[in-house]
Chains A and B, each alone.
Chain A
Amino acid sequence: MSIESENMKRSMSEGNANNLIHRLDPRAKLLSLMGLVVAVVLSDPPSVIPQFNPSTFFPYLFVILLLLSLATISKISLITLLKRSMVVIPFSIVVALFLPFFGNGDVVVDLVFGSLALSSHGINTFVGVVVKSYVCVMCIILLTMTTPFPSIIKALGWLRVPETYLQVLSFLYRYMFILMEEVTNMKRARDSRNPNKARRIWYIRTAGLIAGTLFIRAYERGERVYSAMVSRGYEGRMPSLGRMRMGMKDWIFMCMFITVSAYILV
């Protein structure tokens, strides 16, 4: 068992603890946190330029505090949650990198005689994208850490998410660790036959070979899994068992999030 896949398994199984947030109906958690994500995305970006206005950051800080307090109730490490949410920041910076050059509003810095300039609106949008993506990812990570993955799938099914998509998602969760183990084994096999430290180009080339082999193995495994499914009566639909019930706690939780979402939007 590779260390990477062990770590991942551990992190994804934190949703097995038995406390108030974990016990909530997955649909309530999914709807509440998704609603909050939509509200955060649609809210006005914070104002950094021309004048720094701290009050425009308050809604985001409020959401972060709310999520951290839920994490505390769920006995989830706050540092883990904050650190894990940071993963998105490099990606959002890359995606939003050119926004400061395209916004309207006052020109803050003129780089090439008026043809390339940083605008105040662009910079505010850039900061908004980074902050919003951080908060949204935090919502999703909190959801995955407090809800077992099969329950999330079930809740998505209740929300009428297409069955094929859910089946793919479910298989991804089931086989991700196995594929990760296969990659680790192949990397070990490669390194064990490389007594002299090879050049970077060699690693890049062999990474391509590993990716190709992994694809073929995954395809063949897919065929075998399909045979196993057919042999147990699969005819295109995944059967499911057990109904979910929304209780008073779930409704209170949802009302709380609707209020917070409305506050952010307003």
Chain B
Amino acid sequence: MRAIEVNDVWYRYPNQKEYALKGINFEVEEGEKVAIIGANGAGKSTLLLHFNGILKPERGEIKIMGDSDVRWMRSKVGLVFQNPDDQLFCPTVFEDVAFGPLNMGLPEEEVVKRVENALKAVGLSEDGGVKWSERAPHHLSYGERQRVAIATVLSMGVDILVLDEPTSNLDPKMREDLMELLLTFPYTVVVATHDIEFAAEVCERIVVMDKGEIVEEGVAERILSDMELLRSVGLRAPTIVRIFEELGIDEKPVRFHDGVETLKRLKQIRINQRGGDPTT
């Protein structure tokens, strides 16, 4: 089943002449992890707001799991905003995570259970003695707030997780933690980002946007190794791809560990060619 279907979507912000989205067409299959990449102002965030019915297309249609009803869309798509301080507006973590389920009219016991499970899913389990749910969001670190922001939508029992620039403002450790977290998620994930390395590690398919249009889409290995394409939309290829380019190697793995493995393999081939002596 298709998780997201975007058919010829056009959108223009009020009092603007220029369209922010120009005839967008694409689909996301259930369980797929897709990155929408592009420079600032490419229209990535505008497109994400359509998945949740916050913005409505001027022309065209968006279907979430086969339906375009706004309530349905909101119950299926969990939108995590770029800045967790925009997402977390309640005085305590518990109230924030419970906000969605309560609005869905769920009974109290179910809400409490969902809050516990959602916090556990993002690694903020209360088993360790830390009462995460009682803490105020502004007392948490940025990385913890980011996790709580994800928990606020997981508690709604969504099927599709949509994240807008999730790695902005995260330090390398927090970024890595978030990456691991998303890789373990059994959900359909759509990430809008210009963090190419992050997109390469987490997503199997890449959609490239520029000036409100989709200019290319395909598997991560093909798109992210196309340096010319990325340069033309104001982005840079992952560091590992650029290293391979500099070394004049035809193969261009896009993920760090794949790159390391390739280098090890090439080294072994060279050793074998020289008679098995690694010092020569």
Chain A contacts to B: CB under 8 angstroms: 9, 13, 148-150, 153, 170-171, 173-175, 177-178, 221, 224-225, 227-235, 238-242
Contact = CB atoms under 8 A, between A and B. Distances in A.
Contacts of A149: 91
A229 B52 CA distance: 12
User: 8 smallest A-B Cβ distances: which pairs?
Assistant: A233-B103, A239-B102, A150-B91, A232-B100, A224-B86, A231-B52, A231-B79, A177-B138
Interface in B49-95: 49, 52-54, 74-75, 79, 81, 83, 85-92, 94-95
B153 interface: yes
B137 interface: yes
B185 to A, nearest CB: 18
B81 A9 contact: no
Nearest to B98: A241
Contacts of A229: 89, 99
**Most interface-central of B91, B100, B108 (chain A CB within 10 A):** B91
Interface in B8-48: none
A153 B91 CA distance: 10
Given A153-B91, A170-B90, A170-B91, A224 B100 contact: no
Nearest to A5: B138
B104 interface: yes
Contacts of A242: 108
Contacts of A13: 136, 139
B111 interface: yes
B193 interface: no
A221 B85 CA distance: 9
Contacts of B81: 224, 227-228
Nearest to B137: A174
A5 B108 CA distance: 34
B104 A233 contact: yes
A224 B104 contact: no
Contacts of B94: 241
A241 B52 contact: no
Nearest to B155: A232
Given A228-B86, A231-B52, A231-B54, 6 more contacts: A174-B138, A224-B81, A233-B100, A239-B99, A240-B95, A241-B95
B53 to A, nearest CB: 8
Contacts, number: 82
Interface residues of B, number: 35
25 contacts: A9-B138, A9-B139, A13-B139, A148-B91, A150-B92, A170-B90, A171-B89, A174-B88, A174-B137, A177-B138, A221-B86, A228-B79, A230-B54, A231-B52, A231-B53, A232-B103, A233-B75, A233-B100, A233-B103, A233-B156, A239-B98, A239-B102, A241-B94, A241-B95, A241-B102
A221 B86 CA distance: 7
B89 A174 contact: yes
B225 interface: no
B54 A227 contact: yes
A101 to B, nearest CB: 45
A153 to B, nearest CB: 7
A237 to B, nearest CB: 8
A3 to B, nearest CB: 15
Contact of A150 (B49, B87, B95, B103): B95
A234 B107 CA distance: 17
Nearest to A221: B86
B152 to A, nearest CB: 7
Nearest to B94: A241
A175 B90 CA distance: 10
Contacts of B74: 231-233
Given A170-B91, A173-B91, A239 B103 contact: yes
Contacts of A174: 88-91, 136-138
